[in-house]
Amino acid sequence: MEFILILIIVVIFASVLTGNLGYVLFGMAGFLLLTSGLMVLIFLPCVALLLTSKWKEAKFVGLDLPRENAKWQVAYYLVDGEEVPCIFPEEGVFRDRFYREDKVYHVLWNKRLGRVFDRFSIATCILGLTFGLLLGSYMLFLYY
């Protein structure tokens, strides 16, 4: 909520100082274009890793920190007798619904990285890349 209030104040000050709201809107569109470009740069390698991974059956083992100084927990899966972490952090909500130890999941295993993509990280990669491309193309359309 505070972020929106600060953003409104910045827009008002910028429009008063420049005397034209068009400059502010142009700057906001540029910021959104930069953001979409960064999203594409982040998620494009992830999708490339998805395409080079192999489908495996895995059993959910548990949630744990990947390193001692890590802030977020990741899901661990048992793939071919090896405990492998997920590439993205676990979802903080609905843990008991999303991660169940009694089910066998289908994951994409990247052997070179030693990580898996579970269904949530697959959706994150695909939706993130799609949203970044759509937002960027829309902002480019607005610019021209």
Spatial CB neighbours of 126, under 8 Å, sequence gap ≥ 6 = 47, 50
| Statement to judge: residues 58 and 36 lie in one domain | no
Q: Is the pLDDT of residue 33 over 80?
A: yes
Provide the residue type at 91 as one letter: E
Q: Domain span at residue 33?
A: 2-49+125-143
- pLDDT of amino acid 1: 66
| Statement to judge: residues 60 and 18 lie in one domain | no
Query: Which tops the pLDDT comparison, 57 or 28?
Result: 57
Provide the residue type at 92 as one letter: G
| Statement to judge: residues 87 and 135 lie in one domain | no
How many CB atoms neighbour CB 107 within 10 A?
26
Percent of the chain with pLDDT over 70: 99
- pLDDT of amino acid 102: 79
Least confident of 45-49, 96-100, 111-115: 96-100
Q: How many domains does the chain have?
A: 2
Nearest Cα neighbor of 107 from 63, 56, 70 is 56
